């Protein structure tokens, strides 16, 4: 059986997780653990025992880094001593930290958990239905999902607006009507092999990867995370894989194609906590339930762009978000 990128990544999980836990055990944190000072706002310190600690993790793409820093800042505002294990390379290693109790909290996407971690064959397009299904299933893994945020960062394909107008295409189903030479794709490694990624998406829309008369092997180019946007904008391919909350969609004037067959599942983000940690510190639910309603697609597009295009530090962007919403006080 052919192994996917996730299968290959899984073999490195133990090594990555062990390295992260070794840092924690030595009282150290990664060099990326910087966050600005936190002062009092609407998130008040919880009634915690002396030395109460919380370990926060995240994946290593822009939005996750920002959300991870938001969580670190929130936990500090709530009075915890925080170990910052954000910026973990890959979805599976970050998940492994959560299920092995190497981390207590992360922001996770409902669709990712359902398909990638829980191994379900098909996502649930209904946002609330997807959330409830994941919440129920993950309880058996010692994880508790808090209420989801409005943000639904699902996958999509985008095209340069001028090229979209030239080809007369606004929907994914229209790709199959184009000449084979126009069916070119730029994707990142994980999307290239996910169960909700490129190959099954093409199949859902009547296309076959590797078939000369459909989508030839040479028509798919794989780029590092983030480089897909630039490659699409430059015309390296007609269709680039994007996240719907990425600010570069607007910056580069890309047009997101309608998923008219509802292939992509809901990917609402939610605060996920180790159930034992939540039982020990039940006040955590109130902290993150306060923040979640402010995490919208419009907001994250702006925050993501400040990092990806403006070069700002995710921690600084997260800190300003927390101050702007009154969750913490302004810099002293």
pLDDT tens digits for range 207-219: 999 999 999 999 9
Instruction: Report, in angstroms and rounded to the nearest whole number, the Rg of the chain calculated over CA atoms.
Output: 20
Give CA–CA dist 199/192, Å, rounded.
Answer: 7
Spatial CB neighbours of 298, under 8 Å, sequence gap ≥ 6: none
Starting at the edge strand found earlier in the chain, the sheet holding 185-187 runs 220-222, 185-187, 239-243, 155-160, 254-256
- Main-chain dihedrals φ then ψ at residue 254, nearest 5 degrees: -90, 150
CATH fold match for the domains 5-153+267-324 and 155-256: yes
Nearest to 261 by CA among 117, 162, 156, 110: 156
* End-to-end alpha carbon distance in the chain: 58
Element spanning 288, H or E: helix 284-291
- Integer angstrom CA distances of residue 240 from 53, 194, 222, 308: 41, 16, 10, 17
pLDDT tens digits for range 148-202: 999 999 899 999 999 999 999 999 999 999 999 999 999 999 899 987 799 999 9
pLDDT tens digits for range 47-56: 999 999 999 9
Superfamily (CATH H level) for 5-153+267-324? Periplasmic binding protein-like II (3.40.190.10)
Taking the CB of residue 114, how many other CB atoms lie within 10 A of it?
25
Task: Tell me the pLDDT band of 22, cut-offs 50, 70 and 90.
Answer: very low
Q: What is the pLDDT of residue 265?
A: 83
pLDDT tens digits for range 257-289: 999 998 888 999 999 999 999 999 999 999 999
Beta-bridge mates of residue 220: 185
Quick one: 101 exposed, middle or buried, by C-beta within 10 A (0-12, 13-18, 19+)?
middle
Task: Tell me the pLDDT band of 226, cut-offs 50, 70 and 90.
Answer: confident
Give CA–CA dist 199/116, Å, rounded.
Answer: 15
Identify the top-confidence range among 138-142, 246-250, 295-299, 303-307: 138-142
Provide the 8-state DSSP code for 174: G
Q: Which tokens hold the place of 181?
A: 């030479």
Q: What is the pLDDT of residue 195?
A: 77
Give CA–CA dist 117/96, Å, rounded.
Answer: 10
Give CA–CA dist 32/25, Å, rounded.
Answer: 17
Superfamily (CATH H level) for 155-256? Osmoprotection protein (prox); domain 2 (3.40.190.120)
Domain chopping of the chain, boundaries: 5-153+267-324, 155-256
- Main-chain dihedrals φ then ψ at residue 87, nearest 5 degrees: 75, 35
């Amino acid at each position: 059986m052919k192994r996917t990128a996730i299968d290959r990544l899984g073999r490195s999980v133990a090594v990555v997780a062990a390295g992260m836990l070794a840092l924690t055990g030595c009282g150290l944190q990664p060099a990326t653990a910087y966050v600005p000072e936190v002062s009092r706002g609407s998130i008040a310190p919880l009634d915690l025992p002396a030395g109460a600690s919380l370990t926060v993790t995240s994946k290593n793409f822009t939005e996750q880094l920002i959300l991870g820093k938001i969580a670190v800042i929130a936990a500090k505002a709530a009075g915890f001593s925080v170990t910052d294990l954000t910026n973990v390379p890959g979805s599976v290693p970050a998940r492994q930290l959560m299920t092995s109790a190497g981390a207590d909290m992360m922001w996770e996407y409902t669709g990712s958990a359902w398909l990638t971690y829980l191994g379900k064959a098909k996502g649930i397009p209904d946002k609330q239905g997807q959330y409830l299904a994941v919440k129920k299933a993950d309880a058996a893994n010692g994880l508790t999902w808090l209420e989801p945020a409005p943000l639904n960062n699902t996958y999509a394909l985008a095209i340069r607006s001028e090229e979209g107008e030239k080809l007369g295409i606004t929907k994914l189903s229209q790709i199959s009507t184009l000449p084979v030479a126009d069916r070119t794709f730029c994707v990142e490694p994980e999307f290239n092999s996910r169960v909700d990624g490129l190959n099954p998406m093409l199949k859902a829309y009547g296309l076959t990867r590797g078939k000369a008369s459909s989508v030839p092997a040479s028509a798919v180019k794989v780029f590092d995370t983030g480089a897909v946007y630039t490659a699409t904008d430059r015309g390296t391919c007609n269709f680039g894989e994007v996240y719907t909350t990425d600010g570069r969609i607007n910056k580069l004037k890309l047009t997101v194609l309608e998923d008219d067959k509802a292939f992509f599942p809901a990917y609402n983000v939610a605060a996920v906590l180790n159930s034992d940690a939540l039982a020990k510190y039940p006040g955590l639910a109130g902290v993150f339930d306060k923040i979640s309603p402010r995490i919208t697609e419009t907001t994250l597009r702006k925050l993501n762009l400040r990092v990806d295009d403006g070069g700002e530090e995710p921690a600084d962007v997260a800190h300003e978000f927390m101050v702007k919403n009154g969750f913490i006080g302004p810099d002293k």
